Amino acid sequence: MDFAKTTMAFEGSRVTLHTMEDRDATEQYVGWLNDPEVNRYLGTKHATIQELRDYIGQKDLQPNALFFGIFLKQDGMHIGTVKLEPIEPEKKCATIAVLIGEKTCWGKGYAAEAMQVLIDWCFRTLGFDEMNLGVIAKNAAAIRAYQKLGFREVKRDLGYVRYGDELHDQVWMTLTCPA
């Protein structure tokens, strides 16, 4: 399966996902990535609109990645992103990552809904057996949210990543397809 140049859209009960496009590289999105509260657990600490456009373009060309914007159904507001990368059909698995950048939408279940839509698609349509993700151990709220979706910790890499002066452990989690 080659996902390069693939355009897709999905709907949940409250969110719509569509593959990111050049026009989605907005000041709002840049603002999220430049906000220390939002980027606290991200590798990206600063971005420009051109860097976002380049990133979106790179993801669009990758055969093993799909990068989606998360939009509220009620008003179309862009609130975050969710990405499948890598997508590994030969191993019947994918790695998922999510960001809710719009702080007014934190803690409302939008990330879980967006993830569940893609998890269901991977399991039901692609026939995958598992979904994976990585999260910084200090991000306890995200870990709890992933556990509610059924993810379980399978590995922990101590001192895996440095943010500023701090080393952080990386938690690797897996969700297996229900029988």
What sign has the CA pseudo-torsion 146, 105, 24, 127? positive
pLDDT band at residue 44, thresholds of 50, 70 and 90?
confident
Chain segment 121-173, per-residue pLDDT in tens: 999 999 999 999 999 999 999 999 999 999 999 999 998 888 777 888 999 99
Helices (H) and strands (E) in the chain, counts: 4, 8
List beta partners, residue 172. 134, 155
Half-sphere CA count of 137, side-chain side, radius 13 A: 16
Q: Where are the domains of the chain?
A: 9-131
pLDDT tens-digit readout, 80-95: 999 999 999 999 999 9
Mean of pLDDT over the chain: 94
Is residue 143 within 8 A of residue 135, CB to CB? The reply is yes
Kindly state the helix (H) or strand (E) to which residue 162 belongs, with its residue range: strand 152-163
Q: How far is CA 68 from CA 9, 49, 62, 78, 147, in A?
A: 8, 17, 13, 11, 22
Distances (CA, A) of 130 to 19, 65, 112, 176, 178: 22, 16, 17, 4, 9
Domain 9-131 CATH class label: alpha beta
Q: Residue 125: CA atoms inside 13 Å, Cβ hemisphere, count? A: 9
Please enumerate in sequence order all residues whose Cβ is within 8 A of that of 105, keeping only pairs 6 or more positions apart, or say none: 72, 79, 80
